[in-house]
Amino acid sequence: MANHVNLTFHGAAKTVTGSCMEIESEGTRILVDCGLFQGSRTLETLNYGAFTFAPDTIDAVVLTHAHIDHCGLLPKLVAQGFEGPIFCTDQTSDLLQYMLADAGRIQEFEAQHRNRRRDRAGEATITPLYTEHDGLTAWRQTRPVPLEEWFEPATGFRARLWNAGHILGATSAEVDAGGVRLLCSGDLGPQYKAFHADPEGPSGLDFVICESTYGSRTRVRLSIDQRRDLLEEEINKAISRGGNLVIPAFALERTQELLLDIAYLADANRIPNVPVFVDSPLANRATSVFARHAGELEDLGGKDIFHHPSIHYVDDASASMRINSMSGVIIIAASGMCEAGRIRHHLAHNLHRRDSTILFVGFQAQGSLGRVILEGARQVKISGTDVNVRAHIRRLDSYSAHADQAELLDWIKERKPISGSLFLTHGEPGAISALTELASEDDPSLSIVTPNIGESYQLQCGTPAKLIGTARTDAAQLIGRDWQNDYADFAVSLKRQLAQIPDPVNRQKAVADMRKVLERYGM
């Protein structure tokens, strides 16, 4: 056994994004994932701060999958000195060529756009987190490895990848560090997941790190046919209203699942023959990877669903803008949480329309624009502009790429015996708490740890994890809604609330009182 094996959580602890774990043994360090933080502006500031470790001291990265909250800080890691290999599946490597380059382009565009905003006049120039070049450099450091075969990511480490059933190429990462066996779940897929077999993995481990995204939610188990029934109903109702159906969707996996079902429903004449616009250059490139690996996918039935006649792939920005003059069409656009990308301008043009429908089909993190809309906001701010919410807001949980509470518990049971500790991560506090309670009821003797961002643990075979490094001092403030979310809600409704004060003198007094409050807190 090694003298010591230390595990540090740099992200995805009490939150669902920013996945990054550091495993250190005898001075050698590897990361499992290096993801982007998404959600509130406060949480996103972590992307711009310095890493809490030196990138040039990391010997290798083992990457579970290509979602940005798991891989989106790899370009920054590489730009700041990491020169080692990034181990992942062949499918994940293929996806990263597009995912990381696109992430870099988004960073560059967002920086340029924010610098041009009039409400930022006179402020310091924003520089992009990283560039398209950085993204491609990181992709070139990937080293594809097959499933279930041992490889050596660094001196003193062995690892192998297991199918996680989440998205194309997604895995759980088993790591043997000096004789201590860990399994990092990555993101786990649900039962009846399109394209992929159910998650797999070893048992009899020392430590298991399990995601908890839906740790407090149990979904109705739906087959693919039942899921299509629900989508059929939503599409028919939306088109009957006369407006557009706008679907914010993650470019990777969720978009392709939707295309699978829409093509099936259209061929069966169960939905109107209306144009379907996939308005996401990244989704279009990701779809080409799916087509390349079609022979490895389930549920296609021998059909080339990605080239269906009703589906139109939009790359050009001017073509994207022309969609906004249309009605009665289906628009699938990224990003899935509405935090960036072309979905924002489609929301700006459709949220105020009473005949349009916004259909959410994926998880919305706390503080994200998608979560704010789902929670019933009457106005939202998009690129500095107030937008009224009058469209029909709908939600389908049946497209989740994550295992629910019962499926997570089943996966944990299949990993037993666990001789050391079970870590529950990658979930909001309520989800982690609920899953902890049930896992403890099932096995009262099991050591369960719910880490915070920044905490480090010493790991030894057959012994519960020992806390050796405390959390960030601001860990509690990073989670959930922040003052900027509250300010946005307050700002979009302020004028309306002031107008409801009948006496103009009292309106002026209310404004003056608010100024005094702000001045008092600024002292």
The amino acid sitting at 16 is V
Crossing angle between the packed helical segments 254-267 and 281-292, to the nearest 10 degrees = 80
* pLDDT tens column, 6-47: 999 999 999 999 999 999 999 999 999 999 998 777 788 889
CB 120 within 8 A of CB 159: no
Q: What is the pLDDT along the chain (523 residues), one digit of tens a residue?
A: 445 799 999 999 999 999 999 999 999 999 999 999 987 777 888 899 999 999 999 999 999 999 999 999 999 999 999 999 999 999 999 999 999 999 999 899 888 877 877 666 677 888 999 999 999 999 999 999 999 999 999 999 999 999 999 999 999 999 999 899 999 999 999 988 899 999 999 999 999 999 999 999 998 888 899 999 999 999 999 999 999 999 999 899 999 999 999 999 999 999 999 999 999 999 999 999 999 999 999 988 778 889 899 999 999 999 999 999 999 999 999 888 898 889 999 999 999 999 999 999 988 877 789 999 999 999 999 988 899 999 999 999 888 889 999 999 999 999 999 999 999 999 999 999 999 999 999 999 999 999 999 999 999 999 999 999 987 766 566 665 555 556 655 665 677 788 788 888 888 888 888 888 877 877 6
Cα 243 to Cα 326, 404, 439: the distances in Å are 8, 33, 46
Domains recognised in the chain with CATH numbers: 5-218+401-478 (3.60.15.10), 224-399 (3.40.50.10890), 484-522 (no CATH)
Closest to 262 measured CA to CA, from 254, 481, 378: 254
Measured distance CA(312)–CA(309) in Å, rounded: 8
Task: Quote helix, strand, coil % in the chain, to nearest 5.
Answer: 40, 20, 40
Residue (of 258, 317, 248, 334) closest to 290 by Cα position: 258
DSSP secondary structure, 345-413, as one string: HHHHHHTT-TT-EEEE-S---TTSHHHHHHTT-SEEEETTEEEE--SEEEE-GGG--S-BHHHHHHHHH
Cα-atom radius of gyration of the chain, to the nearest Å? 23
Residue 219 is which amino acid? R
- CA separation, residue 5 to residues 15, 23, 180, 466, 468 (Å): 24, 7, 8, 11, 11
pTM: 0.84
Residue 297 CB coordination number (10 Å): 16
Are residues 323 and 245 in contact, defined by beta-carbon separation less than 8 angstroms?
A: no
The two three-digit tokens of residue 187, written as one number: 């993101």
